[in-house]
Chain A
Amino acid sequence: MAFLDNSGDIILDAVLTDAGRQRMARGEFKIVKYALSDEEINYKLFNSTHPSGSAFSDLQIMQTPILEAFTNNTSLMKTKLVSINRNNLLYMPIFRSNTKRNVSKPVENTDSFRIFADQNTSDHFTSTDIEALTGYHYGTVGTVNNQLKRMISVDQGLETSGNPPITSDMPDDLIETAFLIRMDHRLLRFYASDGDGANIGQRANSFVDDDAIATYYISNTDACVTGPRDLYRDQLNNDLSARPNTLTIVKDKEMFDGPLGPRLNLAPKTSIQVQQSSALFDELGNNGTEVITGASGASLASGTYKFIDTLVNVVGVTTGYSIDIPVRIIKKN
């Protein structure tokens, strides 16, 4: 897309997205709400100590050229502007994939997770193997005990360098109230704990768009959302005097050094199409070259499996913060 002409009056270049056109064709086109975004803006260019004065602090930002609108609905509105009804905020919460808890660690030395496409692939390893393979997930719904040992956790919190400390409460107006989760519907389904510690369940999507991206709306009352005070935080607040090392335990398991928000726990599973056919791997994937070796010695050698790399996107409905989690789906030949 070209840049918009910014030499004269301010203009608005408006287009329907491909999803909008598709809905129009289905007779379901109805706009009911809007959001504002600051895509293309790099706030690192903001210079609050500009030598010419505060009027010049955003000079470079205001000169940012703006691209024409894309029509792909998933390519836009990645960074939204947020309405918070007070001006005295110095910190805003962010998301981090929790890489500290054993259950939610990604593959070593990466930020990505691996999912076995089908039972044939996961059965190549023993359950002990898989337990030892950090960041590897079952792609099919098997024994619950195994399922609950692996999660992708997205934590909300404040990085404050300890001021305010992790023991402080997150302000109520910054706590996430709901999450939008997007994943490729051809490849993945959204499963998560049902909260009883014994089952995981599939969540229903809100819609699947023209690019086969499914969107799930998960409120913080769902069993897969914990907090804002989970087990460690409860221990922290209740038993700090009794267990003085609790704070250390907490810091070892939490991604933030400031106040904590809720945690979203996902256990994505593969679609039937991915489980039963390798067609998508031929079309979207690659041959695996990295050797995957379990503790028992079982391994998937180079050229014996295929993989597809995809993303799971999580957006906070309250703060608009967005995080992409890389996921690799592995299928044995």
Chain B
Amino acid sequence: MSAGTFFKTFNSSDRTTTRTLLHEAIPITGALVSGTYNRTSANAGREKNIKVYSHDMFESVYDYPYLSSSANHIFDISIGMHASSSLSSSTVTNIAKKVNVYNQMAQVLNGYDTNGNIRQFDVDGDFSTSVGKMNEAIFFNFSRLLVKDEIKKGSVSLKLGLGNFTGSSTHQVTITDKSGSNGYFVNSPAGEYGILFASASNNIMTGTLTTDAGASATARPVNSRVDTTGRRPCGLVFYQAGVCVLTASLFMTGTQVSAPGAFLKAGAATNTPGVDPLFQTASGPNRMRTMLTGSNITNICDGIRNKFIDLSFNNTTELNSTIYFCRANHNEFNYSSNPTYLSGSKIRVKGGDILTPPRSYVTTVGMYSADNELLAVAKLSEPLRKDPTNELTLRVRLDY
């Protein structure tokens, strides 16, 4: 007769591994990004949840006043300008920092060409041509807390105001990665990325099929190409890196604009012909072109924050799981070492009858190392009866 035991060893068929993608919806309202928390003079006139830095390279948005330990970092905003931009000159405010930010982000997200030069951001993802390069870029760098392992492809939706100062229902642009789930690129050193497409309300954006005469949509340069629903490429989203890159020309009118060209019809957004929409910054109202040349990065970021209507995306967490099947056969685990199991040494559940089958109640599964150290534990939400007439298989999944 074999001795009793309470350990049972897993064999190879009791264990399997799986991979699951878990998605969460991440909504960020414009009110959180600007306006909810009081502006304070101590924070240079900004809301308490906006953290700025003396180095003036970016600013950070928190979901709560950032001095509180309860605050979570949501995302950073920054601005970059390529050295070849038509706006770039030695007189541009903090030009070195704007170029440095652009180059840093481009190094990480675009990598280098065969000559070792940093590749420019390209609105169509085609690095081999000179078409579609973004010379002035707005960066939204989302924290890992939100992005987790990556942004779900095809889930990005960003609304920005195109009217003066803040967003309005009549003048706004909706930016999506509409082709993300089946039209993404893999030629970035930072992982997969997709194109962000802009579509604006009230016919205020240039390049739409409905208003542009002349060449067909596909014959136009890619940087101004629109699809049949009026969407136009305006930036990139790097899914694993959790970064959105938008062209600053999204807020510009006219023809003297760096690639990929002005997005707004003259006056369409502001109702003032030929005039770009105004941004609200800590240093007063300003327009994108003027800000790019005359404002520091933090002030430009303030203006962009105030255009923020809302943003949503789904994040992705990759769960690698090991599933353990804990099997209790009919002749196993029918007795208990619970002190209440016995009265003296007599088994209570037998009611004094030796022929009554034993029974026990499972509430917990413990998983052990070879030297009997408890490594993982699983609790059932209600007791399971175990007796010689039944068999149980408890499926315990450990996620990593």
Of the candidates B10, B331, B379, the one whose C-beta lies within 8 Å of that of A34 is: B10
Q: Which residues of A contact B382 (CB under 8 A)?
A: 4, 6, 10, 62, 64, 66
Q: What are the residues of chain A within 8 A of B354 when measuring CB–CB? A: 88-90
Report the stretch among B68-76, B172-180, B227-235, B356-364 that lies at the interface. Answer: B356-364
Query: Is the CB of A25 closer than 8 A to any CB of chain B?
Result: no
Of the residues A13, A32, A67, A316, contact of B369 by C-beta under 8 Å: A32
The answer to whether B19 has its CB under 8 Å from any CB of chain A is no
Known: A10-B381, A173-B4. A35 touches B373 (CB 8 A): no
Check A32–B379 contact: CB distance below 8 A.
no
A38-B338, A79-B338 known; A14 vs B377 contact (CB < 8 Å): yes
B364 A34 Cβ-Cβ under 8 A = no
Give the residue name and chain of the A residue nearest to B7 (CB). Answer: A33
Q: A38-B338, A66-B382 are in contact. Are A173 and B324 (CB under 8 A)?
A: no
Q: CB-CB < 8 A to A94: which residues of B?
A: 339, 342, 345
Instruction: Chain B residues near A157: list those with CB within 8 A.
Output: 345
B53 is an interface residue with CB less than 8 A from chain A: no
Question: A159–B382 Cα gap in the complex (Å)?
Answer: 32
* Segment among B37-45, B104-112, B292-300, B390-398 that sits at the interface with chain A: B390-398
Shortest CB–CB separation between residue B5 and chain A, in angstroms? Answer: 6
In-complex Cβ contact of B379 among A67, A317, A319 (8 A): A67
Q: A31-B369, A32-B10, A83-B332 are in contact. Are A38 and B362 (CB under 8 A)?
A: yes
Q: How far is the CA of A66 from the CA of B334 in the complex (A)?
A: 20
Contact of B388 among A61, A64, A87 (CB under 8 A): A87
Q: Does A49 contact B (CB under 8 A)?
A: yes
With A14-B397, A31-B367, A41-B338: A81-B345 Cβ-Cβ less than 8 Å: no
| Residues in A neighbouring B333, C-beta threshold 8 A | 36, 81-83
Given the known inter-chain contacts A41-B340, A66-B382, A79-B339, please indicate yes or no for A89 contacting B361, CB distance below 8 A.
Answer: no
Contacts of A35 in B (CB 8 A): 6-8, 365-366, 368
CB <8 Å contact, B8 and A33 = yes
The answer to whether B336 has its CB under 8 Å from any CB of chain A is yes
CA distance A306 to B386 in the complex (A): 48
> Which of B328, B349, B377 is close to A15, meaning CB atoms less than 8 Å apart?
B377
In this complex, how many residues of chain B approach chain A with their Cβ under 8 Å: the count is 72
A83-B6 CB under 8 A given contacts A92-B335, A215-B373: yes
Tell me, in angstroms, the Cα distance from A40 to B381 when the chains sit together.
12
Given A62-B382, A69-B377; A318-B5 close (CB under 8 Å): yes
Q: Are A85's CB and B336's CB within 8 A?
A: no
Check: B26 CB closer than 8 A to any chain A CB. Answer: no
Nearest-Cβ distance from residue A161 to partner chain B, whole angstroms: 7
The answer to whether A243 has its CB under 8 Å from any CB of chain B is no
Interchain CB contact (< 8 A) of B362 among A36, A49, A93, A161: A36
Instruction: With A10-B382, A34-B324, A35-B368 as known contacts, state yes or no: A82 contacts B4, CB within 8 Å.
Output: yes
CA distance A89 to B1 in the complex (A): 13
> In the complex, which range does the number of interface residues on chain A fall in?
35 or more
* Complex CA–CA separation, A87 to B362 (angstroms): 18
A6, A38, A173, most chain B CB atoms within 10 A: A38
Is B215 an interface residue when CB atoms closer than 8 A count as contact?
no
Known A30-B369, A32-B10: A48·B360 in contact at CB below 8 Å: no
Residues of B within 8 A of A89 (CB): 335, 347, 354, 358
Closest chain A residue to B378, Cβ basis:
A14
Per-position 1/0 for A1-33, Cβ under 8 A of B: 000111001111111110110010000111111
Partner of A12 from B334, B345, B395 at Cβ < 8 Å: B395
Contact A62 B385 (CB under 8 A): yes
What is the minimal beta-carbon distance from B20 to any residue of chain A, in angstroms?
A: 14
Are the CB atoms of A37 and B363 closer together than 8 Å?
yes
Indicate if the CB atoms of A34 and B326 lie closer than 8 Å.
yes
Contact surface of A with B, Cβ cutoff 8 Å: 4-6, 9-17, 19-20, 23, 28-44, 46, 48-49, 58, 61-62, 64, 66-70, 73-74, 76-77, 79-94, 157-161, 171-175, 177, 180, 206-207, 209, 215, 217, 256, 258, 316-322
Besides A93-B345, A206-B371, 20 other CB < 8 A contacts? A11-B381, A14-B396, A15-B376, A17-B374, A31-B367, A36-B333, A37-B366, A38-B362, A40-B363, A43-B349, A58-B361, A62-B385, A64-B383, A66-B363, A79-B341, A85-B1, A90-B347, A172-B1, A319-B6, A320-B6
- What are the 7 closest A-B residue pairs judged by CB atoms, nearest first? A48-B351, A320-B337, A20-B375, A14-B378, A159-B344, A37-B364, A79-B338
19 sample A-B contacts, Cβ–Cβ < 8 Å, listed by A number: A4-B382, A9-B381, A12-B378, A13-B378, A20-B375, A31-B324, A34-B366, A35-B8, A37-B364, A48-B352, A62-B382, A79-B336, A81-B335, A87-B358, A90-B354, A92-B345, A174-B3, A317-B5, A320-B337
